Amino acid sequence: MARILSILVGLFFTVALLWSFGLGFYTWTTEPAAATAEHEFHLHPKNVHFASDGPFGKFDNQQLQRGFQVYKEVCSACHSLSHVAFRDLEQLGYSEAEVKAIAAGFTVPGTDPNTGESAMVPGSPTDYFPKPFANDIAARAANNNAVPPDLSLMTKARHNGPAYVYSLLTGYRDQPAELLKHFPEAKTPPGLHYNPYFANLNLAMAPPLSGDGQVEYGDGTKSTVDQMAKDVAAFLIWTAEPTLEKRKQTGWAVLGFLLFATILGYMSYRNIWSDKKH
């Protein structure tokens, strides 16, 4: 009797599960999801090309240096690069003396040599880029209750990351009238800024690139908003994967070896079994 009862209970739950699944599928196919402002007005990243794209792509060190300059003069006030050490900048073509000078321009936690007490001291090449805020509370207080994310791995943390960074930096605009007409509740709250490339359309970060000429490039390149956004996005590709070029070179060497081994194996197969077939 207990066995029959357990079978009936199992059948009941199976039928209930199938029924709920079927009802959910029917509802999904017959009743479309309610439209939202995020669904209707969120835009995919723009199409943009970087020198490091593709299987043969390589970093453009001149562009990376420009991107670092944008980060240093604009982004570093709010965003950290906690996975990048100053000495890593030598990979961008900076000399040892230039790296030392760049590091000394930042202050990092250290020890006062005169008193032995904790203090902020000039950075050295072995130090990592410091955080701009002492803690998350200070970061929230300075950024409309939002904590600026670390940018070290940003181009890996977001889908189509380089294009996302570029699009976000160049995507600030006024809310379209059509959005306010159909979704008045989606009006950008005070203190936030409309950007259709951000997931929920509004973000706490004000437009960091305020206009052309904001950064004076040392190589004479005209620093338009578009150029600065593309340069800093390229720099963040490097911070997220500084070994990108080496990985691609290794990949081609491995593919060449596998191709050679495949041909060699096939020739060995033909040689060994040529007189064994009838």
pLDDT, one tens digit per residue, over 136-161 is 999 999 888 899 999 999 999 999 99
Q: How many whole angstroms separate alpha carbon 71 and alpha carbon 67?
A: 6
Residue 177 · residue 155 · CB < 8 Å: no
Arithmetic mean of pLDDT, 36-51: 90
Residue 68 · residue 235 · CB < 8 Å: yes
Backbone angles phi, psi at 158, to 5 degrees: -115, 145
Q: How confident is the model at residue 6 (pLDDT cuts 50, 70, 90)?
A: confident
Residue 141 · residue 133 · CB < 8 Å: no
Q: Quote the pLDDT of residue 202.
A: 93
pLDDT surpasses 60 at 67: yes
Q: Quote the pLDDT of residue 208.
A: 96
Q: Quote the pLDDT of residue 101.
A: 96
Helices and strands counted in the chain (H then E): 10, 4
Q: How many whole angstroms separate alpha carbon 112 and alpha carbon 131?
A: 19
Q: Quote the pLDDT of residue 39.
A: 83
Q: How many whole angstroms separate alpha carbon 14 and alpha carbon 8?
A: 10
Q: How confident is the model at residue 110 (pLDDT cuts 50, 70, 90)?
A: confident
Q: What is the DSSP string of 122-165?
A: E--TTSBPPPSSSSHHHHHHHTTT--PPP-TTHHHHSTTHHHHH
Instruction: Indicate the average pLDDT of the chain.
Output: 90
Measured in Å, how far apart are the chain's first and last C-alpha atoms? 67
Each domain of the chain, given as residue ranges in start order, spans 37-84+129-240, 244-271
pTM of the model: 0.83
Q: Quote the pLDDT of residue 11.
A: 82
Tokens of 246: 């080496």
pLDDT surpasses 80 at 83: yes
Arithmetic mean of pLDDT, 230-254: 94
pLDDT in tens, 201-218: 999 999 999 899 999 998
Q: How many whole angstroms separate alpha carbon 112 and alpha carbon 115?
A: 6
* CB neighbours of residue 176 within 10 Å: 12
pLDDT in tens, 222-239: 999 999 999 999 999 999
Q: How confident is the model at residue 196 (pLDDT cuts 50, 70, 90)?
A: very high
Helix (H, G, I), strand (E, B) or coil at 180: helix
Torsion of CA 129, 134, 135, 137, to 10 degrees: -140
pLDDT surpasses 80 at 9: no
Q: Quote the pLDDT of residue 204.
A: 92
Q: How many whole angstroms separate alpha carbon 267 and alpha carbon 278?
A: 19
pLDDT surpasses 60 at 278: no
- Pairing type for strands 193-194 and 118-122 reads unpaired
Percent of the residues in the chain that have a pLDDT greater than 90, as a whole number: 66
Question: Could you tell me the CATH superfamily of domain 37-84+129-240?
Answer: Cytochrome c-like domain (1.10.760.10)
Q: How confident is the model at residue 20 (pLDDT cuts 50, 70, 90)?
A: confident
Q: Is 209 exposed, middle or buried (0-12, 13-18, 19+ CB in 10 A)?
A: buried
